[in-house]
Amino acid sequence: MNILLLGAPGAGKGTQAVRLAERYGIPHISTGDIFRYNIKEKTPIGVIAKSYIDKGQLVPDEVTVQIVKERLEKEDCKSGYLLDGFPRTVAQAEALEKFSKVEAVVDIDVPLDKLLKRITGRRVCGSCGESYHIDHLDGKTSCSKCGEELIQRADDNEQTVASRLDVYVKQTSPLTEYYAEKGILKNVNGMGSVDEVFDRIISVLG
Ligand code: AP5
Ligand code: MG
């Protein structure tokens, strides 16, 4: 199955994507993770991406679309994929249609006023990428999956988050209407526990 996960920054896309990818046996492809890897490795794409991500702005469509196109051509995507954080503009959605057919779009809905707390409290594993929230860590500073150190993402500060939320409202939220018109949009309430949200997603995907 070719699935997209939509949702505002902090809505829980990454958290759910890890579980969904395991459940359906398909690769989890996060453009944010791809950019962070390139930034860490100081690649030319990483240098470009950093200049936008640090300001909470979107990386230009032409850069992002090319990365996704190349990733979806890989063998492991032949039986399906789960895209997290792409597309993020109508132009990206139109470009995606030219090289792949999306079957289901899940929009994880969390009220904007709840997102800031989720994002600023997030800690991620610097090695495997697992996401946590300080409210549930009990002071732990290492990943329960792989034991590596937990870090705070460079763009998870209040100022950058404000810009990311603004960009989401203006540039990404029109995608819900775009996919609703195509009849493939599934709305999911993103409030409640991680397990509750997961169960809702599974039930809308059927
Ligand atoms: P990206 O990495 O995609 O970030 P984002 O969209 O801002 O989303 P987040 O990763 O912040 O949130 P999430 O929905 O994954 O939430 P999570 O599961 O971690 O993109 C980063 C940047 O890269 C962008 O700003 C842009 O510059 C660039 N970029 C990426 N894709 C691009 C594209 N297509 N085009 C152009 N530029 C692009 O959860 C958040 C927190 O909440 C965690 O602490 C988690 O533990 C907690 N949580 C999760 N679920 C629950 C729950 N049910 N209840 C309570 N807490 C929960
Ligand atoms: Mg994420």
| Residues 120-166 pLDDT 10s | 999 999 888 888 999 999 999 999 999 999 999 999 999 999 999 99
For residue 129, is it within any domain?
no
Q: Say how many domains are in the chain.
A: 1
Task: Decide whether any atom of ligand 1 lies within 6 Å of the 46 Cβ.
Answer: no
Residues in the chain, how many?
206
For residue 147, is it within any domain?
no
Alpha-carbon separation of residue 4 from 19, 47, 85, 173, 198 (angstroms): 14, 27, 8, 14, 15
Statement: the pTM of the whole predicted model exceeds 0.75: yes
Task: Decide whether any atom of ligand 1 lies within 6 Å of the 160 Cβ.
Answer: no
Give the domain range for residue 105.
2-111+171-205
What is the CA(10)–ligand 2 centre distance, in A? 7
Task: Decide whether any atom of ligand 1 lies within 6 Å of the 172 Cβ.
Answer: no
Contact assessment for residue 84 and residue 5, using Cβ atoms and an 8 Å cutoff: yes
For residue 33, is it within any domain?
yes
Annotation marks residue 200 as catalytic: no
For residue 9, is it within any domain?
yes
65: domain CATH number? 3.40.50.300
**Residue whose CB lies within 8 A of the most ligand 1 atoms, among 19, 28, 35, for a mutation test:** 35
Task: Point out the catalytic residue in the list 50, 164, 186, 200.
Answer: 164
For residue 135, is it within any domain?
no
Please state the rounded mean pLDDT for residues 39-45. 96
For residue 87, is it within any domain?
yes
